[in-house]
Structure formats: structure tokens, C-alpha cells
Amino acid sequence: MRKNILNHSIFQFAFVIFLVLGSFSFRSVNKISDLFQNHFSDSTSFIANSAEGWIEHSSYLEDLGDSVRFELILFRNPAVWNNESEAGTISSGYSPSAVRVITYLEMPRTWKIKILPSGGCSFKLIDGPAPQGNPVVLPVLTKFKK
């Protein structure tokens, strides 16, 4: 049993590393000005809801004009995952104009991520086994409309 937990933790860590490394895109640059796009990104615009056990490891939000790229790695102690839980708040500069509901696949689980105009960000497990571990690592990489 302990060996299975250790193997699962190693797999989760490897997945997070893969996700982080995979988020870097390599493309050819035709001129120096291509390196400097008119996008603003921020790693301080998400505040985890510690009252519900969420701990932010890292966050990254990038304003893409009409949408926002949202990367997040959260930790949480074991919980009831099939109840909606407010994980934290996105600052107003990145919050959508209407409620956005995203179906997020993190094999073998499917999550519902809800982002409110007020910036509230909640998670709910809608399919698959409950995450195991203490704490559980939840990596998120998605995009939503403003």
C-alpha cells in the first residue's frame, strides 16, 4: 500500500514537471520584435482559499486580449472532491464578464472549473476516481473568455 502511494506521488510529480516543461512553446522568431508581444502576464493575481484547504504552489495568468491563459498548480489535503469547492480568487483584471464553466480533463479525472465575474474560482470532480495523496497536487492549464 505504501509503495503504491509512493509510486502515485512520483507519477504526480513527474506529471507536474511534464506540464510545466510542456507549457514552454518553441517557435521560430523572424525578427527581434516578435519576442516582445503585447500580452501582459502575472503570477500574483490568484489567491488560494486557505480556509478550504487550498495551497497555491504557482499561478500564471496571461491576458490575451479577449481571453485569459490560466496556469495553476494547487495542493490540497484530502477532501470531498465531488462537492464544489472555492479554490481561490482571480484578480479583477483577469476575471470574465460572465460566469465561465470549463470542463477540464486531468487523466483519469474530469473536473468542472467555474470562474465567476467576481473572480471566484471553484473546482468540482465530475468524473473519475478521487485523487489520492496527502497533499493532492492539482495542475491546471486552460484558457477562458473574458
DSSP the chain: -HHHHHHHHHHHHHHHHHHHHHT------SSGGGGS-S-EEESSSEEE-GGGTEEEEEEEEEE-SSEEEEEEEEEE-S--TTS-EEEEEE-TTT--SS-EEEEEEETTEEEEEEE-TT-EEEEEEEESPPP-SSSEEEEEEEEEE-
Q: How confident is the model at residue 62, as a pLDDT?
A: 85
What number is the average pLDDT over the span 51-75?
Answer: 87
Q: How confident is the model at residue 5, as a pLDDT?
A: 52
Q: How confident is the model at residue 31, as a pLDDT?
A: 35
The answer to whether position 28 is within a domain reads: no
Our count of domains for the chain comes to 1
The answer to whether position 32 is within a domain reads: no
Q: State what percent of residues in the chain have pLDDT above 90.
A: 25
The answer to whether position 30 is within a domain reads: no
The answer to whether position 34 is within a domain reads: no
Higher pLDDT, 100 or 20: 100
pTM of this structure: 0.67
The answer to whether position 35 is within a domain reads: no
Q: State what percent of residues in the chain have pLDDT above 70.
A: 71
Domain that holds residue 83: 2-23+40-145
The answer to whether position 31 is within a domain reads: no
Say if residue 2 is exposed, middle or buried (CB neighbours under 10 Å; 0-12, 13-18, 19+). Answer: exposed
Higher pLDDT, 18 or 99: 99
Q: How confident is the model at residue 52, as a pLDDT?
A: 87
The answer to whether position 115 is within a domain reads: yes
- pLDDT of residue 138 exceeding 70, the answer is yes
CATH code for position 73: 2.60.40.1830
Average pLDDT, the chain: 75
Among 17-21, 64-68, 114-118, which is the least confidently predicted range?
17-21
